[in-house]
């Protein structure tokens, strides 16, 4: 009569029992105690632990001591922040000499938040909602620093004091007014585009220093879904990322016939692919304000161009080639800033 083998417990059903192959269990590194779930227990006890935490600790130790790792590898490079911040400290805790400008201002390593009215009622800040989520996402801990800019052109260095479940408290340590805004009062008026294309235009317009975005409803516009709150959130995020000290407004879309009747100051331009004789280089060399209309994916109709010209707009050519609508909007902002704004005078582009 054949004997029936004795099954092991439900945790090891279908797997090798611990008593049958002791060598395999002895070779596994530091097995953990069994868990409640069969699959989780098997993974934790039978799978070798990853080696990367030990390697990371070894690299961090060698970086502090200046030596090589215990495995004989090449010496680890030191952390990058001693080259950027005085004292060799972490970017969020970088000290500075008394009276000197903080290395935080303008740094890409630092979290920047737009807080309207920051510092108006004293040095204490109370942050909730989106600001609280940003602090957690960037893992800012109490005692560490970040930047805050307000709606008055000031940038503040703040230190996080407390991070709670629904509220964070911070203290303003220093205030600075950097000159990062373009002297050109540039208004970009793009026709409505579909979905992510309009998001891209607004984001890049903010990065290029546009003072105001005024979306236009034209005859051939296909992106008629108005997502104004989303566009304004994109403008805030772009201003935080690129280091601007103000968040340009994004207006509600207006019909083209109504927008061209507004009392705009400075140059009034409409980019039109049908214009062959007037490039931007043919316009006056100096101006303080520009408003430029950009057509939709189907272009402006001839009647719309005529209506804009009747209200003082000049049709211009952006390039010798036909550009996509989103490309034309971004190129127009860049060309205007280069000719009349700060892109031609900034040290980075000289």
Number of residues that this document lists for the chain? 350
User: Which of the two residues, 47 and 63, has the higher pLDDT score?
Assistant: 63
Q: What is the pLDDT of residue 59?
A: 52
Domain ranges of the chain: 108-176, 185-349
Name residue 187's beta-bridge partners: 212, 291
Tell me the CATH number for domain 108-176.
Answer: 2.40.240.20
Rounded CA separation 294/220 (Å): 12
d(CA 39, CA 201): 49
CA 303 to chain centre: 39
Q: What is the mean pLDDT of residues 174-181?
A: 90
Bridge pairing between strands 155-163 and 168-176: antiparallel
Q: What is the pLDDT of residue 346?
A: 57
Q: In the prediction, which pLDDT does 93 show?
A: 54
Averaged pLDDT for residues 199-204: 97
Each residue's pLDDT tens digit, 295-336: 999 899 999 999 999 999 999 999 999 999 999 999 999 999
**From the candidate CATH numbers 3.40.1280.10, 3.30.70.3000, 3.40.640.10, 3.40.50.300, the one assigned to the domain spanning 185-349:** 3.40.1280.10
Using CB atoms within 10 Å of the CB of residue 176, give its burial: 0 to 12 exposed, 13 to 18 middle, 19+ buried: middle
């Amino acid at each position: 009569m054949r004997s029936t083998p004795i099954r092991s417990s439900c945790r090891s059903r279908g797997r090798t029992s611990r008593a049958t192959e002791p060598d395999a269990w002895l070779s596994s590194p530091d097995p953990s105690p069994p868990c409640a779930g069969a699959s989780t227990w098997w993974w934790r006890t039978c799978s070798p632990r990853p080696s990367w935490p030990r390697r990371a600790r070894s690299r961090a130790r060698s970086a502090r001591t200046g030596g090589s790792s215990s495995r004989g590898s090449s010496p680890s490079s030191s952390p990058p922040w001693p080259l950027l911040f005085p004292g060799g400290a972490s970017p969020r805790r970088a000290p500075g000499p008394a009276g000197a400008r903080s290395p935080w201002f303008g740094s890409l390593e630092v979290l920047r938040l737009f807080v309207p009215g920051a510092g108006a009622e004293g040095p204490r800040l109370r942050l909730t909602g989106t600001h609280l989520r940003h602090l957690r996402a960037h893992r800012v801990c109490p005692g560490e620093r970040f930047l805050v800019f307000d709606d008055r052109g000031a940038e503040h260095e703040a230190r996080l004091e407390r991070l709670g479940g629904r509220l964070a408290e911070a203290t303003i340590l220093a205030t600075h007014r950097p000159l990062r805004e373009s002297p050109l009062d540039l208004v970009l008026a793009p026709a409505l585009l579909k979905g992510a294309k309009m998001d891209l235009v607004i984001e890049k317009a903010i990065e290029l220093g546009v003072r105001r975005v005024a979306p236009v409803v034209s005859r051939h516009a296909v992106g008629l879904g108005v997502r104004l709150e989303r566009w304004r959130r994109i403008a805030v995020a772009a201003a935080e990322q690129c280091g601007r000290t103000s968040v340009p407004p994004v207006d509600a879309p207006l019909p083209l016939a109504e927008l061209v009747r507004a009392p705009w100051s400075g140059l009034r331009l409409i980019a039109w692919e049908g214009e062959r004789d007037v490039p931007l280089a043919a316009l006056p060399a100096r101006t303080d304000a520009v408003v430029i209309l950009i057509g939709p994916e189907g272009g402006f109709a001839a009647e719309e161009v005529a209506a804009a010209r009747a209200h003082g707009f000049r049709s211009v050519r952006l390039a010798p080639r036909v550009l996509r609508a989103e490309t034309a909007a971004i190129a127009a902002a860049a060309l205007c800033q280069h000719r009349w704004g700060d892109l031609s005078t900034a040290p980075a582009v000289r």
